[in-house]
Structure 1
């Protein structure tokens, strides 16, 4: 299975996020899964790819030209898929992946989560999006989604499209 990981490319974040991310990358590799990610050599992106490659796994990096131009492409990208921009990157990641796991991240991660989930709501695919709620990181987003649901701004149950898990064991159960 190809597991797309959306996550932060920042270094100055909670150290436990790196530990949990490395566990995910290692588990994926040990179970024959390929990691699809943004291909950046920083933050949780670098961490998940390094863990997967170190454990003998495969990685696919979908790398925008701006990342290449600034020399931030990870050495742990095994297969590089170049793209022009972030819109292309999201589409290529969707095309390449069977499931999406969102680790802690910022604006880019939110953009990726909602692009994939919105595509599922109108039937472009039936691939799950999983929020890995490390240390309660996604609690504010979960609360917002529940509020949107209360206001009837979401058709159906948002949890049909976005699953929430608190541990790697729960990810293993879903995958």
Structure 2
């Protein structure tokens, strides 16, 4: 798994622990000589992760929708830029270019990306894993809801084959190195 796709918050107004975890992941990706594949923004956890990847010798691929570029929100750290028309194209390119996907804490956009990967995998478009990094139980409510969907048979295939949950950094690294 050399190309790690990342979904996460672009917000600057979040608890600093999430920035620390993003930087820790970025440092590991860089030190391992791996690629970060992400949305290309210069904000929040996105930029924090990219900065740490670059500082530790890794490469950064940004998948950048036109509107982000027009608003001047593209990171200057990108080694490769994939321009896209919109967010739908961005998700498709990120999925295509990544070997595995990780979701750090994030908002509506991150949820959209997680569900895009899960839905596409559930009908056979890919067999890639998505790992939720459950920092301070951030994803607990979502996980409870997904279990409810499984229990009530709204999900046809068990999610545990495609969805992993890492409660600690060591657990996340273990999933990324399997």
Q: TM-score band, normalised by the shorter chain?
A: over 0.9
The residue number in structure 1 matching 2:127 is 126
Say whether the 8 Å CA contact 2:121–2:128 is kept in structure 1: yes
CA RMSD of superposed structures (Å): 0.7
Write out aligned runs for 1:123-162 (5 A). Answer: 123-162=124-163
Write out aligned runs for 1:68-83 (5 A). Answer: 68-83=69-84
The residue number in structure 2 matching 1:93 is 94
Q: Give distance in 1, aligned partners of 2:120 and 2:79.
A: 28
The residue number in structure 2 matching 1:40 is 41
Once the two structures are superposed, what CA deviation does each residue of 1:115-151 show, in whole Å capped at 9, x if it has no partner?
Answer: 0111111111111000000110000000000111111
Once the two structures are superposed, what CA deviation does each residue of 1:45-65 show, in whole Å capped at 9, x if it has no partner?
Answer: 001000000111100000000
Secondary structure of the residue aligned to 2:101 is: strand
Secondary structure of the residue aligned to 1:5 is: strand
Structure 1: 5+ residue runs without aligned partners?
Answer: none
Once the two structures are superposed, what CA deviation does each residue of 1:103-126 show, in whole Å capped at 9, x if it has no partner?
Answer: 000111011011011111111111
Q: Report the Cα offset of residue 156 of structure 1.
A: 2.4
Once the two structures are superposed, what CA deviation does each residue of 1:32-85 show, in whole Å capped at 9, x if it has no partner?
Answer: 210000000000000100000011110000000000000000111121110100
Secondary structure of the residue aligned to 1:124 is: coil
TM-score, normalised to structure 2's length? 0.96
TM-score, normalised to structure 1's length? 0.98
Say whether the 8 Å CA contact 2:40–2:62 is kept in structure 1: yes
The residue number in structure 2 matching 1:18 is 19
Q: Give distance in 2, aligned partners of 1:172 and 1:16.
A: 18
Structure 2: 5+ residue runs without aligned partners?
Answer: none
The residue number in structure 2 matching 1:65 is 66
Query: Runs of 4+ in structure 1 displaced over 2 angstroms?
Result: none
Say whether the 8 Å CA contact 2:95–2:117 is kept in structure 1: yes
Q: Report the Cα offset of residue 162 of structure 1.
A: 1.0
